[in-house]
Structure 1
Amino acid sequence: MKTILKIAWRNIWRNKRRTLITIASIMFALFFAIVMRGFQVGSYAKMKENAIKSYSGYIQIQKKGYWNDKNINNIFEFDQQKILDLESDSRVNIIIPRIESFALASSGDVTKGVAVMGISPEKENKMTKIKSYLQQGDFINADDRSVLVAEELAKFLKININDTLVLFSSGYHGATAAGLFHVKGILKLPIPEMNRRTVYLSIAEAQNFFSTGDQFTALAFDMDNLDDVNNVEQELRLSIDQDKYEVMGWEVMNKELLQMIESDNAGGLIMIAILYMVIAFGILGTVLMMTNERIREFSMMISIGMQKKKLIMVVILELIFLTILGVIAGVIISLPLMIYFFYHPIRFTGEMVEAMKDFNFEPIMPMSLDVQIFIYQAIVIMIISLIAMYYPILKILKLNIVKGLKS
């Protein structure tokens, strides 16, 4: 076997030009496949991160039925000691209380329906990093009567910091909710839809505005490890009264996003498949060339006593060596580019920004460094090469030595 390996290795370097062309074709094909897939997976991961970290959290506890009927009357009171006990779980970073409802926001003669979110500023910032989105003004405090307004909404309402925002809504059990609020800061949120319609208050002020007392619409859980979510979710269901409360995982709360990602991923896989077809024809063409121009060589080797199965083994090893070299080269040239775009994602400008916002996407294209991207693409290239090996094997098995020597 050692001798066959040596022969195969030497054979691929007998014609350096052909070898380098083959390696280059595999290298560039793998490079494009890895980079294309890296951008796709990176974009999907960013969408999920935005949805989880900027809004839903990994898990939420809500009053039963709230998700399907987001009414201010569907609120609940949750024991503070129970919250502290849940936060003591090492898998849970923090539990964030929220009040969410809708209101009419008015400034001058401009009015718009908005989402009002009552938050615990310090806790909310630990999960969503909301303070980092502050474009103008200052962040709110727990006892603040001021509001934070999303950037696009502020532009629509033509308001700025230190202006007054009027909010009208229906409070708990039909109570009238109305108030004048000082605009303390302007936020640029990563989710375009939220950036067009969100107003933030401190949770104490939101509870006062909607007359809810010490009740919430949701408790959002922040966690470090996505793999722990299902276990924590199941444990929560067992520890609470399921007739009163409902535990929602991030996948359920972001079902539409996941469906969109799945649909887009299918389109991306079709593009990758087309690229693989081009790669397959390129590798097959190289194998055809390598095989047909060596018919006389194969005939001579068989005529001097080399068994066909050993010759087949040599040819297979040659193609394996070429594929491995091409795969290694493809990974090496793609890695620096992927690392660069991982730390410096593509940020769209001009009309592309508005087009992406219309689809509720953040106008950014990040890169993923998930090792599975490299492994999957390398495996596919290896499989294509293995399929291409069928031709030289068949050619050697059917080889007519006399005709081959005359060729």
Structure 2
Amino acid sequence: MIAFKLAFRNLFNAGLKTWLNVFVLSLAFISLVFFNGMIDGWDRQAEVDTKDWSIAEGQFWTPGYDSYDPFTIKESRQVLSHEVQQLIKNKQVTPVLLTEATAFPEGRMQTVLLRGMDVNQDILKLPLEKLKGKKNAVLIGSGMAKTLKLKKDDELMVRWRDKNGTFDAITFTIVYIFDCDVPSIDYGSLYMDIEALRKLTGMDNEASILISNDKNLTAIDSWVYKDNDFLLADIKEIISAKKTGGYVMTFFLLLIGLLAIFDTQVFSVFRRQKEIGTYIALGMTRQRVVSIFTIEGATNSILAALLGTVYGTPLFIFFTRHGISLSDTADMGSMGITASDVIYPYYSVGLIGSAILLIIISSTIVSYLPSKKIANINPTDAIRGKVS
């Protein structure tokens, strides 16, 4: 207890130097929590949006289909069995028929993907009900509309091949433009009634993908099941890379704070020789004296956490409620990155606790390194001020 009292007294007697060290450490603490909270919030939003708009609780692919290989689309379809039709009727899955096509907006040529889907499905957020009762109608995302320079009620010529390889074309009407943060759903796709697409291509009762809303459903006939861990792997990889970049920035801020503590401790051991010699001469063990100096350094981190909490809490609350706007930055969707215009950070207890532990442990280690020299000090020489 005496060691703690002496450590706190010496720390506060240092005045401005103490608070400068504390402030720099608090910046490292706040930046660590803020950046990782933003990345965690982005991760949660991206996962929720992808599940709501694209994958639900998993997908079933036709054998041989590869979402990264457009050459597999042509042959990646199969006739729906009675079992699959029953699952569709029970709203456990919804079918998707994929067909490559070419759009001609204002005389330009653009490769697109026709996605035929059930207009009565309610597994995904796609507003397919807008297609009901309309002939030669398609939906597109706002990003796709921007790319093709189209707006609602515009007409778009589209050419495709039917199941026999014969070219056909028709003029579609853009009946609705939806907003979506998932680029794989927004960009490069036109959405239409699956029955209309089957009629145009001659692919009666066929589908390329089944989207499931039942996480317990993992096997259907010859369909290949893809769980959400597989379907979200790309997003996780991007977010992990972003998080690594944030660690570099935080590391340098933390390094500055720890260097300040290390320098302060080295100077304290040299400047307070007589005080150290007096402690030892009065019967205090060398390890006890070392602990006093170590506690002084570690206390900087505790004060930094408290100071960071004081000015960081209002900041975190503000961003949690209002989010961080990305609207003025690069178009993330066009780069294939799932990100909303506004990211709402997520600050978990685990994140804050781990940040505090990191600051305290690293400060304690840095404080101990110069303080351990005290164990070799001769008290007589220390009192005389002759220790070099």
Q: TM-score range by the shorter chain?
A: 0.7 to 0.9
Residue 274 of structure 2: aligned partner: 296
Please give the alpha-carbon distance, in whole angstroms, between the structure 1 residues aligned to 2:327 and 2:86. 48
List 4+ stretches of structure 1 deviating above 6 A: none
Residue 158 of structure 2: aligned partner: 167
Please give the alpha-carbon distance, in whole angstroms, between the structure 1 residues aligned to 2:36 and 2:354. 10
Unpaired runs of 5+ in structure 2? none
Q: Is the 2:28–2:253 Cα contact (8 Å) retained in structure 1?
A: yes
Please give the alpha-carbon distance, in whole angstroms, between the structure 1 residues aligned to 2:272 and 2:89. 76
Aligned to 1:172, the other structure's residue is in SS state: coil
Aligned to 1:330, the other structure's residue is in SS state: helix
Q: Is the 2:64–2:76 Cα contact (8 Å) retained in structure 1?
A: no
Structure 1 residue 359 corresponds to structure 2 residue 330 = no
Matches of residues 243-282 of structure 1 in structure 2 within 5 Å? 244-282=222-260
Call closer, same or farther: CA 1:159–1:326 in 2, change over 3 Å: closer
Q: Is the 1:62–1:75 Cα contact (8 Å) retained in structure 2?
A: no
Residue 117 of structure 2: aligned partner: 119
Aligned to 1:212, the other structure's residue is in SS state: coil
Deviation at 1:121, TM superposition (A): 4.3
CA RMSD of aligned residues (A): 3.2
Q: Is the 2:65–2:76 Cα contact (8 Å) retained in structure 1?
A: no
Work out which of the residue numbers 98, 101, 119 in structure 1 matches 2:99.
101
Same amino acid, percent of matched pairs: 19
Call closer, same or farther: CA 1:330–1:158 in 2, change over 3 Å: closer
Deviation at 1:301, TM superposition (A): 1.5
Work out which of the residue numbers 164, 179, 189 in structure 2 matches 1:188.
179
Deviation at 1:185, TM superposition (A): 1.0
Residue 340 of structure 1: aligned partner: 318
Residue 130 of structure 2: aligned partner: 140
Please give the alpha-carbon distance, in whole angstroms, between the structure 2 residues aligned to 1:303 and 1:394. 18
Aligned to 1:13, the other structure's residue is in SS state: helix
Q: Is the 1:34–1:334 Cα contact (8 Å) retained in structure 2?
A: no
Q: Deviations over 1:249-295 (max 9, x none)?
A: 23433544444444444333333333332232122123234433332
Please give the alpha-carbon distance, in whole angstroms, between the structure 1 residues aligned to 2:334 and 2:143. 13
Please give the alpha-carbon distance, in whole angstroms, between the structure 2 residues aligned to 1:75 and 1:143. 27
Deviation at 1:247, TM superposition (A): 0.6
Residue 262 of structure 2: aligned partner: 284
Q: Is the 1:139–1:148 Cα contact (8 Å) retained in structure 2?
A: no
Please give the alpha-carbon distance, in whole angstroms, between the structure 2 residues aligned to 1:358 and 1:154. 12
Q: Is the 1:72–1:101 Cα contact (8 Å) retained in structure 2?
A: no
Residue 91 of structure 1: aligned partner: none
Deviation at 1:401, TM superposition (A): 1.4
Question: What one-letter code is carried by the residue in structure 2 that aligns with 1:23?
Answer: V
Q: Is the 1:98–1:117 Cα contact (8 Å) retained in structure 2?
A: yes
Residue 328 of structure 1: aligned partner: 306
Unpaired runs of 5+ in structure 1? 88-94, 132-137, 224-228
Residue 240 of structure 1: aligned partner: 220
Please give the alpha-carbon distance, in whole angstroms, between the structure 2 residues aligned to 1:364 and 1:392. 48
Aligned to 1:389, the other structure's residue is in SS state: helix
Call closer, same or farther: CA 1:292–1:211 in 2, change over 3 Å: farther
Work out which of the residue numbers 362, 374, 379 in structure 1 matches 2:357.
379
Residue 305 of structure 1: aligned partner: 283
Question: What one-letter code is carried by the residue in structure 2 that aligns with 1:323?
Answer: S
Call closer, same or farther: CA 1:156–1:399 in 2, change over 3 Å: closer
Please give the alpha-carbon distance, in whole angstroms, between the structure 1 residues aligned to 2:210 and 2:282. 80
Question: What one-letter code is carried by the residue in structure 2 that aligns with 1:20?
Answer: W
Residue 406 of structure 1: aligned partner: 384
Q: Is the 1:101–1:117 Cα contact (8 Å) retained in structure 2?
A: yes
Work out which of the residue numbers 205, 209, 216 in structure 2 matches 1:218.
209
Call closer, same or farther: CA 1:58–1:401 in 2, change over 3 Å: same
Aligned to 2:35, the other structure's residue is in SS state: helix
Please give the alpha-carbon distance, in whole angstroms, between the structure 2 residues aligned to 1:63 and 1:308. 73
Please give the alpha-carbon distance, in whole angstroms, between the structure 1 residues aligned to 2:168 and 2:268. 80
Question: What one-letter code is carried by the residue in structure 2 that aligns with 1:55?
Answer: S
Question: What one-letter code is carried by the residue in structure 1 that aligns with 2:212?
Answer: F
Please give the alpha-carbon distance, in whole angstroms, between the structure 2 residues aligned to 1:26 and 1:153. 46
Q: Is the 1:72–1:172 Cα contact (8 Å) retained in structure 2?
A: no
Call closer, same or farther: CA 1:150–1:86 in 2, change over 3 Å: closer
Moved more, 375-384 or 247-256: 247-256
Q: Is the 1:142–1:203 Cα contact (8 Å) retained in structure 2?
A: no
Call closer, same or farther: CA 1:304–1:327 in 2, change over 3 Å: same
Deviation at 1:375, TM superposition (A): 2.8
Moved more, 5-14 or 210-219: 5-14
Q: Is the 2:261–2:297 Cα contact (8 Å) retained in structure 1?
A: no
Please give the alpha-carbon distance, in whole angstroms, between the structure 1 residues aligned to 2:113 and 2:260. 55
Moved more, 4-13 or 112-121: 4-13
Question: TM-score, with normalisation over the residues of structure 2?
Answer: 0.82
Work out which of the residue numbers 182, 185, 198 in structure 1 matches 2:189.
198
Residue 62 of structure 2: aligned partner: 63
